Amino acid sequence: MNYWIFDGDCKVRAAEEKDASDADSCGKAGESAAKVKIIRASIDNSDIYAYARGGGESVVPSSSATALVSLCPSGEFKSGQRVFLSSYSKVKSDTRGMGYLRDYACVPTDNIYELPDSIADNDVVFIDTVAKACNLIDKLDIRPSQTVIVNGVSVINLIIAQLLRYHQALPIMIDSDDDKLALAQDLGVDFIINSSQENVPYMVKSFTSGKMANALVVDLDILSDMDELPYCLAMGGKIALVNANSAVKCFKIDFVNILSRELSMFGIKDGDGKVSMAINLLAMEKVKVSPLTGEVVGFAQVPELMQKMDGKLSPKMNIVKCNC
């Protein structure tokens, strides 16, 4: 089995694991596991951060993948069946964060999901991100016609914006880059604010006819400044935080404003329990992820891709074609 390792400090190296018998390999992965041939693997911002960060432990990147089943001793999946490999396990285990940037893997069946034919191979790797967005939407408990500020254009925020529209809510996308905001508009976001050119609280007040927003979504990976954002919320508004892959460990926020407006804040770790819902949403084309696809490269081109990214977080998902 061949795979890639990110060592941090912008270092990447190839590695090889001596093949054991299929039965032995599946046995090491757990009581119920399958050997799979990986055909697509994700490279998201958490992987870019793992590549660029100083020090830290070496990791096999990629937290989601499209694969074909080679062997499943339990019979839960058939040989040749196309499946999704999730980083979320249906049961508590130590399999979270396993790296799928390899040609073959032995994966616990709790991390494997059946796929409908209607979801393209490249789109499959977005399933975990859609699941996390579903978890956030549920916890926000947003109602039709309510307004939600989505701060920053990123893969998960663009998916969240689409889900808000699906639930008949009104997203307001904020970013300082016109090209990124144009991508949000292409995906159906009607209200956008360029924070480098416009007064954000004033624009939110204008879009909401003075009522201000009901909730705020913040992607911590791309957070620049949060000072004025709570002022954009109505009384009793909610602040939802997602992602923490970057070096951002803290941010400044006016707690007096949070108290006076009776705001609540919570974080979303992952999309555990929402994977099947995410698969259905993609199958029904309620969420578009193809426009969120960045570079698509071959397995041998991983070092060139990471050098090109140069440690910079991306508003799109990069994809590696394995065994192609």
Query: Which residue carries 């975990």 as its tokens?
Result: 128
Going by pLDDT thresholds of 50, 70 and 90, the confidence category of residue 266 is: very high
Helices 127-140 and 275-283, packing angle to 10 deg: 110
The one-letter amino acid code at 66 reads: T
- List the strands of the sheet with 170-175, edge to edge: 191-194, 170-175, 147-151, 213-219, 233-242, 264-268
pLDDT at 244: 76
**Using an 8 Å Cβ cutoff, are 268 and 291 in contact?**
no
Q: In this predicted structure, what is the pLDDT of residue 249?
A: 58
The pLDDT of residue 257 is 83
pLDDT digits 0-9 by tens, 109-151: 999 999 999 999 999 999 999 999 999 999 999 999 999 999 9
Residue range 293-319: mean pLDDT, rounded: 93
Convert the pLDDT of each residue in 30-39 to its tens digit: 568 999 999 9
Predicted local distance difference test score (pLDDT) of residue 109: 94
Compare 164 and 244 and report the one with higher pLDDT: 164
Mean pLDDT score, 78-92: 83
Strand partners, 107: 34
Task: Take residue 229 and report the two structure tokens written for it.
Answer: 């954002």
pLDDT at 21 over 60: no
Backbone phi and psi for residue 112, each to the nearest 5 degrees, phi listed first: -115, 135
- The model's confidence at residue 324, banded by pLDDT at 50, 70 and 90, is confident
How confident is the model over 286-312, as a mean pLDDT? 95
Confidence check: pLDDT of 96 > 50: no
Give the whole-number percent of the chain exceeding pLDDT 90: 73
Q: Is the pLDDT of residue 160 over 70?
A: yes
Give start and end residues of each alpha helix (H) in 174-295: 178-186, 200-207, 255-260, 275-283
pLDDT at residue 93 is higher than 50: no
pLDDT tens figures, 186-244: 999 999 999 999 999 999 999 999 999 999 999 988 866 677 888 899 999 999 999 87
Kindly tell me if the per-residue pLDDT of 94 is higher than 50.
no
- The enclosing H or E element of 84 equals strand 82-85
| pLDDT exceeds 60 at position 168 | yes
Does the pLDDT at position 162 exceed 70? yes
CA distance 176 to 232: 17
Domains in the chain with CATH codes: 2-125+289-321 (3.90.180.10), 128-268 (3.40.50.720)
pLDDT band at 95 (very low <50, low <70, confident <90, very high): very low
Strand 2-8 versus strand 11-16 pairing type: antiparallel
User: What's residue 30's pLDDT?
Assistant: 54
Q: What is the pTM of this model?
A: 0.93
H/E stretch holding 213 reads strand 213-219
Report how far residue 280's alpha carbon sits from residue 69's, in angstroms, rounded to the nearest whole number: 21
Pair of tokens at residue 277: 């819902």
Three-state DSSP class for 227?
coil
How confident is residue 22, by pLDDT bands cut at 50, 70 and 90? low
> How far is residue 56 from each of residues 7, 125, 152, 200, measured CA to CA in Å?
8, 26, 28, 38
* Percent over 70 (pLDDT), the chain: 89
User: For 306-324, what is the mean pLDDT?
Assistant: 91
Question: Residues 84, 127: contact at Cβ < 8 Å?
Answer: yes
